Structure 1
């Protein structure tokens, strides 16, 4: 039985979308508004949870399945190194936003390129390896740890954040991968609460 990676791919797309929004805001001079700052703060929060869970729970789980396979072990080390490479770039963008720096657009471009390269590498190499070596039970244990970290309050932001502005087919695919009670909560409560936050000024 294959693992359903819908939520993983949707998360990657949401990260790309948010940095695209920040890049456009930096280019048109609207990056220093409270709404853009709130969007950036949520982006960094979601990325931190995502990468921390991968480093602490996912990659070690995969590594236990690929002992004696040096190429795959090296790939997992690359994933962690790419995460670490992002940290100073995230810090630089954060400082540029706080200081209203003229270098913001260039720093955002650098960060977006580095993150997109990492996500593309993960999608091309690490996710197929996950499909090969992990069981659905392994994957469920990993995603369960993410849900624990998010908690109900975090889920109330995460779910509508993922579907913010995405095409209807992608929205349906993502929501279809969630338990029915989560879809109901999102429709009745979470979506409206997310809209009121006005992240990125949308």
Structure 2
């Protein structure tokens, strides 16, 4: 008897989150180039960026990578990839701190610090997309992925969700927006459309 094939994991939320980080890095670089790094709206955008990045990587480290590690026990090459993910997360700490310090002090080399952050984080996200996500697709189930997403949602909480969802959809085109929101329950989409997006826009992060 044929065995039913498991449905693939939908990584739309992961890709959308990575794209939001890339978008914010572009906005940060533009603000620094324009001499706006010390303005309240840019600081607000930066603080949200660092909050979202810390939360994202914290839950990956606490919930996602341990699941993958258990699934690849006895597979040295895959275990090496997980160590690389962990090391890349740790590498970001000093780079983020350098940018934060540069923004606070108005450091002359702030553009170089931002460029280094964009390089380090960009390389990590590309590495994750090209190697870690295919591994996850191979060794985890959609149920495992849903459990990871549930851990992320619990970490965000209702207050965090009210910022996270409009932060993700900020600047998305219609196709990207649909791919992201189609993974969400109907009440989340309604709340985002009726309340969260307008509150987010009023903050004017990055001076937008």
- TM-score, scaled to structure 1: 0.99
Q: Which residue of 1 aligns with 2:97?
A: 91
Detail structure 1 runs of 4+ shifted over 3 Å in the superposition: none
**1:133 aligned onto 2:139:** yes
Which SS does the other structure have where 2:158 is aligned?
A: helix
Tell me, what secondary structure is at the counterpart of 1:31? Answer: coil
- Match among 148, 153, 156 for residue 159 of structure 2: 153
Q: How does 1:45-194 map to 2 (within 5 A)?
A: 45-194=51-200
CA RMSD of aligned residues (A): 0.7
For 1:48 and 1:26, the matched residues in 2 are separated by 22
Q: Does 1:36 align with 2:35?
A: no
The structural deviation recorded for 1:101 is 1.2
More displaced, 20-29 or 119-128?
A: 20-29
Deviations 1:22-53 (A, max 9, x none): 01111111111100000000000000000011
Q: What's the secondary structure of 1:57's corresponding residue?
A: helix
2:155 alignment partner, SS class: helix
Unaligned runs of 5+ in 2: 1-6
Tell me, in whole angstroms, the C-alpha distance in 1 between the residues paired with 2:203 and 2:31. 17
Per-residue CA deviations over 1:173-197 (Å, capped at 9, x if unaligned) read 1111111110000011000010111
- The aligned length equals 202
The 1-side partners of 2:19 and 2:158 are apart by 22
**Structure having the higher Rg:** 2
Aligned equivalents of 1:162, 1:187: Cα separation in 2: 13
Q: Secondary structure at the match of 1:64?
A: helix
TM-score (norm 2): 0.96
User: Given the alignment of the two structures, is residue 13 of structure 1 paired with residue 3 of structure 2, yes or no?
Assistant: no
